[in-house]
Structure 1
Amino acid sequence: MSLRRNLPAGSSGMYSDTPRPSHYNSTVSLVATGQHPHRQGGYGGFGYSNRGCHPHGGAGKSGKGDMGSNRRGNSYFNWINHLRSNYANSFERRRREEDDDERPVSMAVNKVDRVHWYFKGNARTHNTIRYDLVHDQKEAKPILRRGQEFYVALRFRDRDFDVKRDRICLHFRFGPKPCVQKGTLAVITVWNDKFTRSKYDWDVRIDSGSRGKDLVLQVFVPASAPVGIWRLDVVCGLQHHPNALAMNTNALNQRSSTNIHTISTNTMEPKSSHPMNHHSMDTPSMDSPSMSTHPSNKTTVTSNRKMQSDAHMAHMKGFNYEDYNDEGLWYVYSDHTDVYILFNPWCFDDNVYMEDEMKREEYVMNDYGKVYMGAYRRCHGRPWAFGQFDDVVLPVACYILDLAHITDTDRGNSVQVVKAISSVVNDFHEGGIMEGRWDGEYNDGVAPYKWTGTVSILEEYMQSGYRPVKYGQCWIFSALFTSICRTLGIPCRSVTNYVSAHDTNATLSIDKFFDKEGSYFEGGPNGENWDSVWNFHAWNDVWMRRYDLPKGFDGWQAVDSTPQEECDKKEQCGPVSLEALRKGEIGYNYDGSFMYSQINSDIMHWGEDLEYDWGWRRMKINRYRVGRAILTKQVGRDDDCGDADKEDILREYRNREGSDSERWTIQSHIRGSKRGQEYHDFKSDINDDCRFDLFELDKIEVGDPFTIRVVARNDSAEHRTVTATLNAHSLYYTGVHHSQLKKAEGKFQLGPKQQQEVILTLNCAEYWKKLVEGCMIKTYVICRVQETGQTFTEEEDYVLDKPKLEIKIPKEVKMDQQCQITFTFKNPLDMPLTECCLSVDGAGIMRPRKFNIEGDIKPHGQFSHTIKFKPLVHGDRKIIASFSSKEIYDIYGGKKFIVMKK
């Protein structure tokens, strides 16, 4: 008879193919060492030394076991080991029953089963209830603002929470390498029903709504916390264990090989809402099926290393976790929920604090607005859907901050954050959001004028694998920057400077050269002068305190994200204090000199003249053309039909034009530039006894003819001979010439006190096919007086007005009920419109959509297109749309309306 058959049921021999019991390895391990982990000595006479014993019960290397020789066979030793295991298990059971205080620690740790974030309740108090991510039915996210408290609840698995018995530590971690010293790891112990730390530290208190297995906590986030995605680990242990303080250590976040048990989870928002005044776990049941947990994975804690405790704990060195956690001294519950922490303009201690509620509503909460374009005398606000609450905007904002390589510590510094955003909005930084283009060639992308809002751009950015979207221009970069700042909680406005200078040679002047025939000489005499004047240029202002600058420079800071000036190896400019610009104190951070030149440069006209040593004579200096107006949208006002909602903030950037203080600041800047002094000190001694006036046009409709008029008057007592040249060019808004439309030249005599009119007329056929986007025309006038050498030069910009896209909306619109909207305009041209497209953005009530229109629009015919949709939210909303075709484009409109609840 085989000895194997005589083994008791459930035993395991060396040759047995029966699976071992789940407790087998741990039991043998305890017996094999002869030591209980918390006792001295063996197990009541059954302890032994395994000095020669094979792990499977056979002889060791000596060939002999302590209980006898191999002559009795392996089955005998297996039987003996089985008896020892049974005796040991029985002994342990009796001791646990007799002495509860000495039972294994692993049986006493109260483990967290799930976490509840009170998504909507916290969002209401943190002014984040409008974020789509808060309302995600499957994977809601807590979106919080620093500088104030929020609620979070823990449900325990094993038993009711007892603060005298259970030790709970919350580890909030940020970034790939959380560290207490860098402010990217917060370790806070749950022990009191009141906040006990200063407002500069993370803190936690137990809420009175806690009961049973449900622990409701109120956590305070300091106003300096890094902004972005945080994660929570809950460390569970015992209060009175001699090594309980190790739970607070920084090393718990360094996991590599372990005896620490970690349970990970994702949490969802319960279907029912939670009244925050009760802070109870019962109303939003934590047993809701929308809550989910995932099985735990054992992870490790690095031992024998320096560890950092929280603010209440001393530094600990050389702690070996394996010495004290053989059976699970503590458990780490890792919650995988992305916790978004944002800037807080409602909090005085946050450096983006903005006191005025109406301004906060405009510059943080308003998800639509205007970006101003056109020319100084024909400026217009283009409606834009900023969409900062859309579910794509906040995740992309956090992603690009990581992309910009801003340090985790600097993520709490608003100055460094806006610098990072402005550098990654454009594609100069690898992986940036949008590629800029200004030459009109957009066949491999989307023309800038077809965009209506930020959301569609960021959606394409994500769907393309985070490749730069084609194409944008300064006003789109400004709109993108506005959306990203507002979604992060930074007050931001889009601003547009009309007649904006780009001084490439630090002379604080924009130099334009004309040859003997009066034609514009691009590049200057040596081909190295590429100064330019943009009809308009859009950038941004952000609101913050500037702790890096002397007192008095807080408030609005200018930031330019258009890739035209390199700063710190990034194509961006600012932030620079508007107060510093106004005072001419441009030596402070960042890029004050370049920003100052955009609004304060003089325009100099140089004419070819061989009688001068250089070969060029300064014909004119215009000190008042650059920086004619800086427009932004007014706070709390909307004008869908016109631009009554614009606000000129030029005086925030500089003093009144021509005032002593204004010229003093410019001269102070010029004295700091040797080359600038040379240009501005250049003499031009000419007898000016003739007067010339260029008459400005108030309005030019697309398709209509127009006339440019110059009047010359002789104020002297002698005859004067005048040669006049009038030039008209189509150009891009950046000041780059596209085509010459028409040129007129003439020579005439002027008697004493006599005047003469010179005109240049253009009809639609002469200009239409040569126009580019923006429909801008620049005219140059050059008049020379033969007898005195006097030269008159002037330039003016015109924008041809296009029809406005009319939007018709029903009087009554209800949430989740289908409604229809109709878009119309009249074709102003004598030709049909082909390849028509309509882009529509609902600014929160519908996803951005594009419609390809079938058929052509007849000459002077009516365009009409109707769409149907169901509004997603209620309240004051806005529809924004843009029409484009092969013949005419950028016909846009916006309409505000109210969506009512069902």
Structure 2
Amino acid sequence: MLIFVQLIYYYFTFCQLFLTGPTPSISTNTKAAMPVSTSGSSTSWSAFRQSSIGGTLTVTIAIPVNAVIGRYKIGAQVTQAGRTTPYQVGECIVLFNPWVPGDELFMSNDAERAEYVLNEQGLIFIGSADSIAGRRWDYGQFEEGVVDICLLLLDSSPEYRRNPATDVSKRNDPIYVGRILSAMINSQDDRGVLVGNWSGNYTGGTSPTTWNGSVPILRSWRQNGPVKFGQCWVYGGTLCTVLRCLGIPARVITNFESAYDTNRNLLIEEYIDPYGRNVDFPDKVWNFHVWDEAWFTRKDLGSFYDGWQILDSTPQEPTEGSFRLGPTSQKAIKEGDVNLSFDGPFVFAEVNADRVVYMRNNDGRISTLSTETRSVGQFTSTKAVGSFSRIDVTDQYKYPEGSKENKAVFDKARRLLSVSVLSGKPPRRMAMAAVARDVNIAQPPKPEITGTLKPTDGLQVGDDVVVTLNLKNPSSVTKKVNIKMTGTTIVYNRTKVEEVLNESKSITLAPEEEKEIPLTILYSQYVNAITADNMIQVVAVCEEENGGNLMVDTVITLKNPPLLLKGSDRAVVEKQAIVDVIFSNPGKENITNCLLILEGSGLLKQPLKIDLPDLKINQRFKTQVEFTPHRTGQRCFMADFSSNKFSDVKAYHNITWYLSRIVPTMQKLISEIY
């Protein structure tokens, strides 16, 4: 760092001061006082003369790798003829530095640093294990005002309000900072950034699926307080922005078939009724769950656990009095070391829990329907370095399912959890199965038939949903089967919204016979029940004459109709660009309340919202946007279209800009409906 000081510097001694926090002191590492000398130090605060011309003295400040991050006031004291005169030089912001060996966040690979610290364009994976999709996310960590918001987040935490001096003194520790941020991105108990909502009804706020990036969320929080609404990928994208902005290498992780274990027994206990409807219970398996990983050392655990550390700001379960999770060593999870700080049992269960489904019959009897050991934690995914493609990191979280290593790790985790319970660390919550163990749980015959549910490929919102139940009788005797099928619109975490279909039928399967049973959910049946997730869960419970039950299910994610962006992928200095946005109404009815939102860091200063006229069947609109960006590099133009029938139709267009200077941002709209 270079500090330019305009002084008559002959015959004086010069001392440089750096101060941060409300009560700076040398003992808490929030104040540095150093004489200006002819050489610097690499291990402590130091100041040395770089050059002197006329009355200007240029001073280089060496900042140690263990410096507290944050905003510093810079001062100087000049002593001449026994008299000391203070000067206010200015201020600066100190961040973590993953480029410097010795820093706890040092990342040696140049390409990875560019991806995990500097890249503003993200890709977050959503959908289901059977249908993985990616959605862009604009981190925007270098947008105007974002670093100030990140520092305000730290100053808004309960820890800072309780003891500001102590809190600031700990901000050289990425473990501490990560734990503060994982709590502050949600608003559950501290008026943090985002209010969670998984009901499917987002009245009074913004649907989580509408968000395209973190910057509008962070700016709204600074101006108005907690922002409505967020879900896991919104929390994950926003936390990633804040981590990268503060110099912490970070990436977003998606875990498919992600377990939510509330009683720390590594067993997901689910209950259904004879139709396959979920009975309320705390444990569940989400279609997917998103969290973050941050890269730093674990001086509290030992060097083996260095590297990626899991942080999750989605408010699921409290830990140490706050809704936060982590940092949890990724290596500790793979090795089953769930007794280490922080929150290891919860993360281990998310990727490696077993799963048992109980049926609660109409007379109250409970029977075991199925037990699975391999279904939880599939296709754990993140964006590849340097490209918009998916890489699978499941093997970084666990050994292959069914391997002897995986079994040994699972048994180890169970033993450690048993010890923690005996030592007085109780489960967070009592699950229903804990009560069920005290009653007689029936063990019905295992079903001999096998089956699958398969939806028609390429289904869009507006289509009738056709699902085929395929049943096979591999035995040598005839089987009579009673089938109960339900279709339910859900949120991605499998929260039930509304049942849209309920059917029963009986069939006979001859020896070794295979049958296909079609099931149709009409558009008119789900149109007013589908959420912005576009998900419908179909369950079939197939009961044999001997009492054996086979349950098969599938989650169908309906695609939105296409939204098209057309424009150049390169632009020249100081010239406006044009992007065309085109959408056609393919539905079976007119659509109303049409809204288009355009945004992109470096391209538009603020999200641009355009109200559009109603669209009749097969009618389309074309909106032309002229704009001049304000930052160089590869940028992503992002569009979101919503109406009363289609929620958050997305489109993206990459543009690389070559600019010699910042120019004003302009927008011009030309819309056509035809």
* TM-score with structure 1 setting the length: 0.68
Q: Would the alpha carbon gap of residues 683 and 205 (structure 1) be closer, same or farther in structure 2, given more than 3 Å must change?
A: farther
1:362 pairs with 2:112: no
Of 663-672 and 361-370, deviating more is 663-672
CA displacement, residues 405-439 of structure 1 (integer Å, 9 cap, x when unaligned): 25112100011111111111111243311212222
Kindly indicate whether structure 1 or structure 2 has the higher relative contact order, using CA contacts under 8 Å at least 6 residues apart. Answer: 2
**Larger Cα Rg: Structure 1 or Structure 2?**
1
Equivalent residue, structure 2, for 1:577: 329
Q: Would the alpha carbon gap of residues 811 and 599 (structure 1) be closer, same or farther in structure 2, given more than 3 Å must change?
A: closer
Q: Would the alpha carbon gap of residues 696 and 654 (structure 1) be closer, same or farther in structure 2, given more than 3 Å must change?
A: farther
1:585-596 matches, cutoff 5 A: 585-596=337-348
1:46-57 matches, cutoff 5 A: none
CA deviation after TM superposition for structure 1 residue 698, in Å: 4.2
Q: Would the alpha carbon gap of residues 601 and 332 (structure 1) be closer, same or farther in structure 2, given more than 3 Å must change?
A: same
Equivalent residue, structure 1, for 2:245: 487
- In structure 2, what is the Cα distance between the partners aligned to 1:888 and 1:473? 19
CA deviation after TM superposition for structure 1 residue 704, in Å: 2.1
Of 421-430 and 217-226, deviating more is 421-430
CA displacement, residues 618-674 of structure 1 (integer Å, 9 cap, x when unaligned): 110122222112121111013xxxxxx111211111111222212222233334348
Q: Would the alpha carbon gap of residues 548 and 683 (structure 1) be closer, same or farther in structure 2, given more than 3 Å must change?
A: farther
Equivalent residue, structure 2, for 1:751: 510
CA deviation after TM superposition for structure 1 residue 186, in Å: 0.5
Equivalent residue, structure 1, for 2:44: 201
Q: Would the alpha carbon gap of residues 690 and 450 (structure 1) be closer, same or farther in structure 2, given more than 3 Å must change?
A: closer
CA displacement, residues 474-523 of structure 1 (integer Å, 9 cap, x when unaligned): 111111101111110000111111121111222322222233x4242422
- In structure 2, what is the Cα distance between the partners aligned to 1:887 and 1:691? 37
Amino acid at match of 2:341: N
CA deviation after TM superposition for structure 1 residue 742, in Å: 1.1
Equivalent residue, structure 2, for 1:397: 150
Which of the numbers 78, 81, 89 marks the counterpart of 1:236? 78
2:337 counterpart SS class: coil
Contact 1:815–1:872, Cα closer than 8 Å, also in 2: no
Contact 1:815–1:874, Cα closer than 8 Å, also in 2: no
1:626 pairs with 2:360: no
Q: Would the alpha carbon gap of residues 514 and 440 (structure 1) be closer, same or farther in structure 2, given more than 3 Å must change?
A: closer
Q: Would the alpha carbon gap of residues 687 and 380 (structure 1) be closer, same or farther in structure 2, given more than 3 Å must change?
A: closer
1:432 counterpart SS class: coil
CA deviation after TM superposition for structure 1 residue 847, in Å: 1.2
Contact 2:366–2:442, Cα closer than 8 Å, also in 1: no
Contact 2:271–2:357, Cα closer than 8 Å, also in 1: yes
1:564 pairs with 2:564: no
- In structure 1, what is the Cα distance between the partners aligned to 2:194 and 2:46? 40
Equivalent residue, structure 2, for 1:381: 134
Contact 1:210–1:216, Cα closer than 8 Å, also in 2: yes
1:801 counterpart SS class: coil
Q: Would the alpha carbon gap of residues 866 and 558 (structure 1) be closer, same or farther in structure 2, given more than 3 Å must change?
A: same
- In structure 1, what is the Cα distance between the partners aligned to 2:585 and 2:372? 39
Of 405-414 and 506-515, deviating more is 506-515
- In structure 1, what is the Cα distance between the partners aligned to 2:573 and 2:437? 63
CA deviation after TM superposition for structure 1 residue 687, in Å: 4.7
Amino acid at match of 1:590: F
Equivalent residue, structure 1, for 2:87: 333
1:577-726 matches, cutoff 5 A: 577-608=329-360, 615-638=365-388, 645-671=389-415, 672-673=417-418, 684=443, 686-695=445-454, 697-726=456-485
Equivalent residue, structure 1, for 2:552: 794
- In structure 1, what is the Cα distance between the partners aligned to 2:407 and 2:122? 34
Contact 1:815–1:870, Cα closer than 8 Å, also in 2: no
1:360 counterpart SS class: helix
Which of the numbers 146, 151, 175 marks the counterpart of 2:21? 175
CA deviation after TM superposition for structure 1 residue 861, in Å: 2.3
1:171 counterpart SS class: strand
Q: Would the alpha carbon gap of residues 431 and 716 (structure 1) be closer, same or farther in structure 2, given more than 3 Å must change?
A: closer
1:391-540 matches, cutoff 5 A: 391-404=144-157, 405-406=159-160, 407-464=167-224, 467-515=225-273, 517-523=274-280, 529-540=281-292
CA displacement, residues 701-734 of structure 1 (integer Å, 9 cap, x when unaligned): 2222232222333333333321111211110112
Contact 2:383–2:391, Cα closer than 8 Å, also in 1: yes
Equivalent residue, structure 1, for 2:426: none
Amino acid at match of 2:560: K
CA deviation after TM superposition for structure 1 residue 588, in Å: 0.6
CA deviation after TM superposition for structure 1 residue 562, in Å: 0.7
1:833 counterpart SS class: coil
- In structure 1, what is the Cα distance between the partners aligned to 2:48 and 2:477? 93
1:840-851 matches, cutoff 5 A: 840-851=598-609
CA deviation after TM superposition for structure 1 residue 167, in Å: 1.1
Amino acid at match of 2:188: F
CA deviation after TM superposition for structure 1 residue 791, in Å: 1.4
Equivalent residue, structure 1, for 2:427: none
- In structure 2, what is the Cα distance between the partners aligned to 1:218 and 1:210? 12
Amino acid at match of 1:578: Q
- In structure 1, what is the Cα distance between the partners aligned to 2:603 and 2:471? 58
- In structure 1, what is the Cα distance between the partners aligned to 2:199 and 2:617? 28
- In structure 2, what is the Cα distance between the partners aligned to 1:832 and 1:556? 49
1:861 pairs with 2:619: yes
CA deviation after TM superposition for structure 1 residue 849, in Å: 2.2
1:885 pairs with 2:665: no
- In structure 1, what is the Cα distance between the partners aligned to 2:259 and 2:127? 15
- In structure 2, what is the Cα distance between the partners aligned to 1:604 and 1:680? 13
CA displacement, residues 519-565 of structure 1 (integer Å, 9 cap, x when unaligned): 42422xxxxx3222221111101111111113311111111001111
Contact 2:633–2:657, Cα closer than 8 Å, also in 1: yes
Contact 1:839–1:848, Cα closer than 8 Å, also in 2: no
Q: Would the alpha carbon gap of residues 339 and 792 (structure 1) be closer, same or farther in structure 2, given more than 3 Å must change?
A: same
Amino acid at match of 2:9: F
Contact 2:639–2:651, Cα closer than 8 Å, also in 1: yes
2:476 counterpart SS class: coil
CA deviation after TM superposition for structure 1 residue 351, in Å: 0.5
- In structure 1, what is the Cα distance between the partners aligned to 2:450 and 2:437? 24
- In structure 1, what is the Cα distance between the partners aligned to 2:414 and 2:500? 37
Q: Would the alpha carbon gap of residues 710 and 664 (structure 1) be closer, same or farther in structure 2, given more than 3 Å must change?
A: farther
CA displacement, residues 147-192 of structure 1 (integer Å, 9 cap, x when unaligned): xxx1112111xxx312xx20111111110111111111111001x3
Contact 1:370–1:633, Cα closer than 8 Å, also in 2: yes
Count of paired positions: 638
Contact 2:455–2:466, Cα closer than 8 Å, also in 1: no
Equivalent residue, structure 1, for 2:2: 151
1:40-189 matches, cutoff 5 A: 150-156=1-7, 160-162=8-10, 165-189=11-35
1:475 counterpart SS class: helix
- In structure 2, what is the Cα distance between the partners aligned to 1:388 and 1:707? 44
2:612 counterpart SS class: coil
Amino acid at match of 1:213: G
1:668 counterpart SS class: helix
Contact 2:444–2:548, Cα closer than 8 Å, also in 1: no
CA deviation after TM superposition for structure 1 residue 683, in Å: 8.4
Equivalent residue, structure 2, for 1:544: 296
1:804 pairs with 2:562: yes
CA deviation after TM superposition for structure 1 residue 793, in Å: 1.2
Give structure 2 stretches of 5+ with no counterpart.
Answer: 161-166, 422-429, 661-674
Equivalent residue, structure 2, for 1:762: 521
Q: Would the alpha carbon gap of residues 549 and 233 (structure 1) be closer, same or farther in structure 2, given more than 3 Å must change?
A: same
Give structure 1 stretches of 5+ with no counterpart.
Answer: 1-149, 242-328, 524-528, 639-644
Amino acid at match of 1:637: S
Amino acid at match of 2:26: V
Q: Would the alpha carbon gap of residues 491 and 175 (structure 1) be closer, same or farther in structure 2, given more than 3 Å must change?
A: same
CA deviation after TM superposition for structure 1 residue 403, in Å: 1.4
Amino acid at match of 2:39: K
- In structure 1, what is the Cα distance between the partners aligned to 2:130 and 2:244? 30
Q: Would the alpha carbon gap of residues 205 and 714 (structure 1) be closer, same or farther in structure 2, given more than 3 Å must change?
A: same
